[in-house]
Structure formats: structure tokens, C-alpha cells
Amino acid sequence: MTKIVFMGTPAFSVPILEGLLEAGYQVQAVVTQPDRPVGRKRVITPPPVKVAALKHDLLVLQPEKISGSPEMAKIAELAPDLIVTAAFGQFLPEKLLQIPRLGAINVHASLLPKYRGGAPVHYAIMNGEDKTGVTIMEMIKKMDAGAIYNQAEIPITKTDDVGTMFEKLSLLGKGLLLDTLPALINGALEKTPQDEAKVTFSPNITREQEAIDWQKTAVQIDNQVRGMRPWPIAFTTYRGVRFKIWDVTPLAETTDATPGTIIKKDKHELLVACGQQTVLALNELQPAGKGKQEIQAFLNGVGQNVVQGEKLGE
């Protein structure tokens, strides 16, 4: 029976771990990030993979940094045949990659060599891609640069966001991994080097990227909003106060107004001018210090003071 050490952290990783268990693989240990404070009250919360692992009575290791840690020494002691990672969240040192007999593989949520890095789903949506996918790749020291064992793709619809795509890609990754492992374990699976000329990157989202640039078109802003939902959430400002923007709709109409200008405001609608004369309807937003609200509730409450003709983002 193939012995596996699994490394993953967020909800994306959970179905992949459970797929290994359902298929009968011997998961010797699960390595995940330490418990972290979550939410406004900063409640110390275990990562989703830890919760799933404990349900199956698996050994859980939580190094703050894997390199040179006691947890890494424990993995060496276990002598796994294979390491499988899925959104673990740390670089793996070369000494760790050399421990398993069959090496280490990663379930990466993009069609490599596109979108190497920590936020591939966010960038795929923000950049308006019509598809993404999962890659099973060999892990090497360089980030997401290993040879490709297998890939599967999936469409991105105009209503998808990071949350829905993570759910779809997690299940896709589970199936792809289980399809790939038998041939990999038997040494019958060929791997294909990545084309370095086609490499793009998806580094973690910065606070600056969360801010809406109203010079962009309505469609581009819609992509940004969906590409940051349900985290970290795009935002704009009005009279110096920050508002998170949860849902928008690009409209067919056009306007000559300066981008960022509120061109219509009544009890039911809030429309904003965007780049290239496009128009965006705000559907759901979240004022600072409050919960998210449908636009009608906002306009009949906190938003009563919003003035048509004024600008967002200033």
C-alpha cells in the first residue's frame, strides 16, 4: 500500500485529502498551517484540513515553518512513498522533496505554466479568462515550475467567483489526482516540462489591487469584484469612507460621464460610470463597520445621503 504524507491548508484541499482516504491510500500524516486568529474577534481557528484530518484520526503536523522543523524530521521518520500537496501555503525545502521514494507532487489550481503562485484562481477570474483547470505537477525547488503529469480544464462562467471556482476545482483536482496516481506509482506516467516562454504568475493579492479603478471598463470591474469574492473583497471609497463591493452588473447602456461618477441614484438603483463610457450597477455592498447589504436596503438606509453626480474612489 502506498504511504502518503498529505500537505494542505484551506477548504480547497479537503476533498483532495478525503479522496485519497476513500481510495484506500495510507495517509500517514497531514501537514497543515498552524491555527490562526480569524474574524473581528480574532478567534483562534484550525485550518479546514486539520478539522478534516482529525475526523479521520490522522496524525496532524502544524509547523510554523517546515524547513528544519521537528515536523520535517517526523516526515523523514515516517519515510513516505509520496508527498501530495494541495494549497499548503509554504515553500518546501529540497531536503523534504528528497525524502519520499516517489517524490512529491502538487495539485495546483491552474493550467500551468499559466498562473504560477499563490492566487491562480483570483487572477484567472480577474483577467477575464473563460477557462481554468487543475495541474498535477512534480514538485521542485522553484515555485510551481515542475514538470506536468496531468491536467484537466473547466470553464469559468460569468457568474463564477473565487468561492464557486474553488469548489469546482477542488472536486476536479480530487478526480484528476486519483486518475493520475496509479500510473505514477507504477512508473508508467510520463511527465512534460513546462514551456517557460508561456509562464505567467499569480502572486498573493495586495491591498492596492483590492481598490477599484473606475477607469477600467464595467466588465473589467465585474471581473475584479468576482475575482476577489468571497475574499479579500474589492472596495471603493465615497467621501473618504471605504465600501466593500460584493456584487455588480455591467450594463448595456453607455455614458459620457467621468469614470467613477454616480450617474443614477434612486431607491432601487445605484449606477456608476466606468472607463470607455461603460456603466456598472452596484448590487450589493458593505459600508465600513456594517454587514453587506442589498443595494435597495443600502439606498433606503445608510446610503440615503449618497448624491448623484458625485464620484467614487476619491
Which pTM does this prediction carry? 0.95
Q: In terms of Cα–Cα distance, which of 22, 46, 43, 20 is closest to 34?
A: 46
Q: Is the pLDDT of residue 220 over 90?
A: yes
Q: What is the pLDDT of residues 259-269, one digit of tens each?
A: 999 999 999 99
Q: What is the mean pLDDT of residues 7-34?
A: 98
Given pLDDT bands bounded at 50, 70 and 90, which one contains residue 86? very high
312 confidence band (pLDDT: 50, 70, 90): very high
At residue 1, the pLDDT reads 86
Average pLDDT over residues 75-98: 96
Across 165-194, average pLDDT: 97
Distance CA 53, CA 252 (A): 48
Q: What is the dihedral sign for C-alpha 104, 143, 233, 272?
A: negative
**Bond from prior residue into 232 cis (ω within 30 degrees of 0):** yes
Structure confidence at residue 243 (pLDDT): 97
Per the DSSP assignment, residues forming a β-bridge with 22 are none
CA separation for the pair 292, 23 (Å, rounded): 41
| 39 pLDDT more than 90 | no
Which pLDDT score is estimated for 253?
A: 96
pLDDT of 41 reads 86
Question: Which pLDDT band holds residue 155 (cuts at 50, 70, 90)?
Answer: very high
> Could you tell me what percent of the chain has a pLDDT over 90?
97
Tell me if 224 sits within 8 A of 238, measured CB to CB: no
Residue 124 has pLDDT above 90, yes or no: yes
Instruction: Compute the average pLDDT of residues 183-194.
Output: 96
Question: What is the reported pLDDT for 301?
Answer: 92
Write down the pLDDT at residue 260.
Answer: 98
The per-residue pLDDT for 10 is 96
Q: What is the three-state SS of 107-123? A: EECCCCCCCECCCHHHH
CA distance 104 to 84: 6
- Provide the percentage of residues in the chain whose pLDDT is more than 70: 100
pLDDT at 182: 97
C-alpha cell at 231: 475574499
Query: For residue 171, with 0-12 CB atoms within 10 Å meaning exposed, 13-18 middle and 19 or more buried, which class applies?
Result: middle
Task: Tell me how far CA of residue 306 lies from CA of 83, 90, 173, 193, 311, in angstroms.
Answer: 55, 44, 45, 55, 10
Rg (alpha carbons) of the chain, rounded to whole number: 22
CA distance 210 to 197: 29
307: β partners: none
pLDDT for position 82? 98
Q: How confident is the model at residue 42 (pLDDT cuts 50, 70, 90)?
A: very high
Checking if the pLDDT of 49 tops 90, the result is yes
What integer is the mean pLDDT of 122-151? 97
What integer is the mean pLDDT of 213-219? 98
pLDDT tens per residue, range 234-250: 999 999 999 999 999 99
| C-alpha cell at position 254 | 453607455
The average pLDDT across 131-140 equals 98
3-class DSSP state of 179: helix
Strands 82-86 and 104-108: parallel
